[in-house]
Structure 1
Amino acid sequence: MLLRNGDTGYRVEALQRNLMRVGQDIEVDGWFGDETERAIRAVQLTHGLVIDGIAGPKTLEALQRGKPNPLALRQIDLVLAAEFLKVDLAAVMAVNEVESRGRGFHVGGPRHGEPVILFERHIMRRQLIHHEINPVPHQQQHPDLVNDKPGGYIGGPREHSRLLRAMHIHQTAAIESSSWGLFQIMGFHWQHLDYPSAVAFAEAMKQDEAAQLDAFVRFIEADPALHRALRRLDWRDFASRYNGPAFEKNDYDTKLAAAYRRHAGTLELAA
């Protein structure tokens, strides 16, 4: 569940009651306005979470538990990323809001605490060829794991079962064929991003969301054109390079620009 400024209804009312329970002086009216956003930011600041004014799963979890998930991304992580890349903090916050999956780890169930992944069977076929392994027998036996076409997804935590089965075919190729964490960085980038091995990359993705952000930072730094687009706040160019040619279909550039304006305005007021 994701609640933000402008939302209304019983979920917002429940959120406001939880905010009152932890000491925030707000009116319970079922409308997520500026007052509720300020209260959310105060809670996020208290818990060291990303201060975006959005009541996402990590903020709601901190409200319920009284403490944040230790794996969760923190505001200081975004500050350090912006400083390292020499870009506006509001730009990094915008990318985190629009381009991340909201959570880098599964919560609850048998895969609790494991990183979010998506296994790509067509990439597995390509990577097997890269490692000089004939993919044809594997494609015949396991078309859901090795294929010349995308698909076969089962979604959510269950993608780990596909990854584990693929690792029995070839561990490195399987890791390389999965996207990992908050920013869904493909494993085959490990060498380009200066990780010692595919296994080391996967282990880093299991550490926490700050480590997943580090992979994103490395990804940006390794692509000068993408880095320049982020520095000059050229959201159309950034989205086309980061999301691919179909970026317009999902309005990624428009969403990034709007998120940047909101975060830039809030940071300016807080200065």
Structure 2
Amino acid sequence: MNMLYKFGDHGAEVENLQKRLTSSGHPVPVTGYFDHGTEAAVMAVQKAKGLVVDGIAGPKTFIALRGVTLPHHLTDADLVNAAELLGVQVAAVRAVNEVESVGQGMLPDGRPKILFERHVFWKRLEAHGIDPAPIAAHKPALVSQERGGYQGGAAEYMRLAGAMLICEAAAYEACSWGAFQIMGYHWKDLGYESLAEFVAAMEESEAEQLGAFVRFIAQDAALLAALKARKWSTFAKLYNGPDYARNLYDAKLAQAYTKYSQAEKAAA
């Protein structure tokens, strides 16, 4: 079942959300349509529980509706602090969090989300003095010059485990980590004392994952400048690569920024 609902959605799942909101003390008409009233109620729950206030009902919001808040979840205060550290508008950080992050930084079992990149593993093996070609001939799902082989979710840890048998450091470095998909091989440039320290931080919480994102932006002058100026096409290209337009990242970022900046003005 889909667990991500926002303004404009409709159906039985939205109706169930509205019933949960009403029973939790945030009454809304049970229409099955995610309208502005439903969005406001979701935001009220998020604010009350210290979650990121975006009006999007995802897994964290549903957990909060059960009266539970997990300590490793990203909070709204984390986003405000990140904006202060980078010297950018909070609305800009909120937009990036909504569009560029994968939302949940943790799996249901508490481990950080990862995506094992077999083409990056090829390069990291070379960096560690290991010839990837003969390994790729027998394990193309783990080692390749082409992207792919993704399993998603917890299954990515199975791929990581297989890669660790070849070279543990290269395997960790070949994963993107957490909500903001920071590649492991950046650990040294981001100021972590070791790869192990970076991985431990990613395992700690979504706030630590956001911290890695802040470091990633701060160490790249062009990326930081693009975020400060809200030049979304430039930011998306630098963050996602040349294919950013295919997924409309820049347009989505601009739209999200407009939403959050208008909400900030309305609240002022």
TM-score interval, smaller chain:
over 0.9
73-82 or 158-167: bigger deviation: 158-167
Shift of 1:168: 1.8
Aligned to 2:23: 21
129-138 or 244-253: bigger deviation: 129-138
Aligned to 2:54: 52
Query: Structure 1, unaligned stretches of length 5 or more?
Result: none
Shift of 1:249: 1.0
**Rounded Cα–Cα distance in structure 2 between residues aligned with 1:30 and 1:125:** 48
Shift of 1:141: 3.3
**Rounded Cα–Cα distance in structure 2 between residues aligned with 1:189 and 1:225:** 17
Q: Does 1:153 align with 2:150?
A: yes
Q: Which amino acid aligns with 1:82?
A: A
**Rounded Cα–Cα distance in structure 1 between residues aligned with 2:147 and 2:90:** 36
Equivalent residue of 1:169, what SS? coil
Q: C-alpha root-mean-square deviation of aligned residues, in Å?
A: 1.2
Shift of 1:152: 2.0
Equivalent residue of 2:115, what SS? strand
258-267 or 138-147: bigger deviation: 138-147
Q: Does 1:218 align with 2:219?
A: no
Q: How does 1:1-271 map to 2 (within 5 A)?
A: 1-63=3-65, 65-107=66-108, 112-271=109-268
**Rounded Cα–Cα distance in structure 2 between residues aligned with 1:40 and 1:128:** 46
**Rounded Cα–Cα distance in structure 1 between residues aligned with 2:86 and 2:172:** 27
**Rounded Cα–Cα distance in structure 2 between residues aligned with 1:47 and 1:229:** 32
50-59 or 29-38: bigger deviation: 29-38
Shift of 1:38: 1.2
Equivalent residue of 1:70, what SS? coil
Q: Which amino acid aligns with 2:88?
A: V
142-151 or 17-26: bigger deviation: 142-151
**1:8-66 deviations in whole A, cap 9, x for unaligned?**
22221111110110111322222222211111111001100001111112111211x21
Q: Which amino acid aligns with 2:112?
A: P
Equivalent residue of 1:106, what SS? coil
Equivalent residue of 2:154, what SS? helix
**Rounded Cα–Cα distance in structure 1 between residues aligned with 2:220 and 2:145:** 27
Shift of 1:138: 2.3
**Rounded Cα–Cα distance in structure 2 between residues aligned with 1:210 and 1:228:** 23
Equivalent residue of 1:37, what SS? helix
Equivalent residue of 1:262, what SS? helix
Q: Which amino acid aligns with 1:169?
A: I
Shift of 1:267: 1.6
Equivalent residue of 1:206, what SS? helix
Identity, % of aligned positions: 51
Shift of 1:145: 1.6
**Rounded Cα–Cα distance in structure 2 between residues aligned with 1:44 and 1:157:** 27
Shift of 1:137: 3.4
42-51 or 238-247: bigger deviation: 238-247
**1:159-179 deviations in whole A, cap 9, x for unaligned?**
101111211211111111111
**1:70-107 deviations in whole A, cap 9, x for unaligned?**
21110000000000001000000000000111111111
**How many residues are treated as equivalent by the alignment?**
266
Shift of 1:150: 2.0
Q: Which amino acid aligns with 1:35?
A: G
Query: Structure 2, unaligned stretches of length 5 or more?
Result: none
